[in-house]
Each structure stands twice: as structure tokens, then as C-alpha cells.
Amino acid sequence: MTSYTRTTRDTHECLTVDTAEHFGADPDGGKWIVFCETHGYIVNVDTKAIALGIRGIDFCDDCREDAAAQLLIEAQRTARIAEAFAELAENYAADVQAFAKLADDTAAGAGTTLEFGGTIRNGVFTITHDYRKDSS
């Protein structure tokens, strides 16, 4: 068999699978070897199928640390997105209230002005509004 090397999607480690004989390793732990090229960890397994299915986080301490760090980054990103949506919801609620007030004042014949604007900064869209009674 020719060595089989792959890069995993989750932590991007590079793993090589081959026989213990090819690696010059002791086959007592298993005929097949999975070698983490990224961090230098190695594990013996009994079958080729197991070797091809194993991931770095299954045997490599450094891959586990990398995966945990990636999960933390994703959790922080998700929290920032949730905060942005909460802010948009608050802005939307304020806009709805302003429109309702404008509709009430218009129906009552009062002069009102409602101006809207918006900005995009760092990928966040913010709606602004200014509601005021016209002075007459």
C-alpha cells in the first residue's frame, strides 16, 4: 500500500496512514499506523478501516487543543452575531413604535416629521430615526 495522507476539515491537521512495517515501527500495537504530521503523534490500530476513519482528535493531544480553541472562536463569533441581532431587534422595535406614533399623529391631524437613516460599520447595519413634532 502507498501511504495515504489527508488533511481534516475541522482542525486542519495532516494525517498519514500506512502499515507499521512501512513506518519501521513495532506492529505489536496494531498493524496500521496513523501519524499526525502536524504534531508528530502516532497511534497503532488493528485494521486499515479503523486507520482511515481515525481523526487527529482521537489520539493527538495537540489536535484536541486546536479543536477546543476552534470551538471557542466559533462560540465567541456566535455570541457577537447574537448581540448584533439583539441590537437590530431593539432598533426595529423602536422604529415600529415611531411609525405607530406617526400614524396616530397623522390621523389626528398633527404635523410630524420622521426621518430615517442607516449606517454599515464592521458588517453591522444600524437603522437610525428621528421623530419630532413640527412646530407651528
Pairwise CA distance, residues 103 & 68, whole Å? 52
36: buried, middle or exposed (CB in 10 Å: 19+, 13-18, 0-12)?
Answer: buried
Q: Are 44 and 25 in contact (CB under 8 A)?
A: yes
| DSSP class of 134 | P
**Residue showing cell 448581540:** 83
Pairwise CA distance, residues 55 & 46, whole Å? 15
Q: For residue 57, give the C-alpha cell.
A: 482528535
Residue 41 confidence (pLDDT): 92
- Mean pLDDT, 10 residues at a time, the chain of 136 residues: 78 88 86 92 92 90 88 89 85 76 66 58 60 58
- Delimit the domains of the chain by residue range: 4-59, 66-133
Residue 129 confidence (pLDDT): 59
The DSSP result for 43-94, as a single string, is: EEES-HHHHHH--GGGT-HHHHHHHHHHHHHHHHHHHHHHHHHHHHHHHHHH
Residue 34 bridge partners (DSSP): 17, 43
Residue 67 confidence (pLDDT): 85
Q: Are 19 and 33 in contact (CB under 8 A)?
A: yes
